[in-house]
Copies of this chain bind each other. A is one copy, B any other.
């Protein structure tokens, strides 16, 4: 009953997933890896795993039952389409793809195949704090959600490497996805306001203040600060008709000393979401072992792409940028797809 997995891409995130799949999680075995840099692939391959020359040969190998894609974004579309063609359950790191057209091609192929195969790496949905928050909201005791306040704060980003598009392309997409999931709704419009610029990131555009307009009328505001220095601080508060529900402080020793009564804050996303990543793969292994996928779908990847694109347009226009999605294939509403949530 062990799931035999091939991993494409053995960079930082690929190596971390290899560690997770070999040392932390049960019911899974890595049987193959591939990377453009074959030497890096060989170094990352666990004992007994084969190093494939190409992603294609890995995907189509009979030894590989399921695939984890950790290559760079522009390569995802082709690899996903191959995986779908081979009917192999696939975990794909975000971004799923890098254009709306590519997202639609992936959706079309998956729908045509008749079985859900693609899981996209939005790990927040597997975080226990967000799950408890969703349970409270869905429970209905607070009434309908009307507003969601989301704060996404990074201690720092690498100067030079991190560009002014990335807060919207790489950071906002997490808040957008979790908003859709928490509120069980779609985003129909995006506005971006640029507050006074922080001097922490020299000439980087930071922070961003984003408004997401949801189909049923809820408004989401997102603070994105990427150089705030003090830690990686993810906040979320849902304001409902009859009450408010919020993410808690992360568990940390309560110290009373010369700095006051205090609790430490996670240093980065690895510390904050380490259990969420484990849980994400735990559920993927279970689903992939059953020949399918769970959690965030190709539809969610499509929505993320549209939101990031609209946010970038909104920076340029200064106005409200509308999002228009195709009709949602019934395929993505099946109990199968939603089961694990």
| A26 CB to nearest B CB, Å | 5
Given the known inter-chain contacts A247-B254, A251-B250, A256-B231, please indicate yes or no for A197 contacting B217, CB distance below 8 A: yes
A44–B303 Cα gap in the complex (Å)? Answer: 45
Partner among B23, B136, B219 whose Cβ is within 8 Å of the Cβ of A26: B23
Chain copies in complex: 4
- Say whether chain A's binding surface is mostly helix, strand, loop, or mixed: mixed
**Any B CB within 8 A of the CB of A246:** yes
**Any B CB within 8 A of the CB of A193:** yes
**Any B CB within 8 A of the CB of A15:** no
**Any B CB within 8 A of the CB of A151:** yes
**Any B CB within 8 A of the CB of A84:** no
Interface residues on A, range: 35 or more
**Any B CB within 8 A of the CB of A143:** yes
* B residues less than 8 Å from A23 (CB atoms): 26-27
Q: Which of A57-65, A69-77, A235-243, A293-301 contacts B (4 or more CB under 8 A)?
A: A235-243
Q: Which of A264-316 contact B (CB under 8 A)?
A: 264-265, 275, 282
* B residues less than 8 Å from A209 (CB atoms): 147, 219, 221
* B residues less than 8 Å from A214 (CB atoms): 196
* B residues less than 8 Å from A184 (CB atoms): none
| A320 CB to nearest B CB, Å | 9
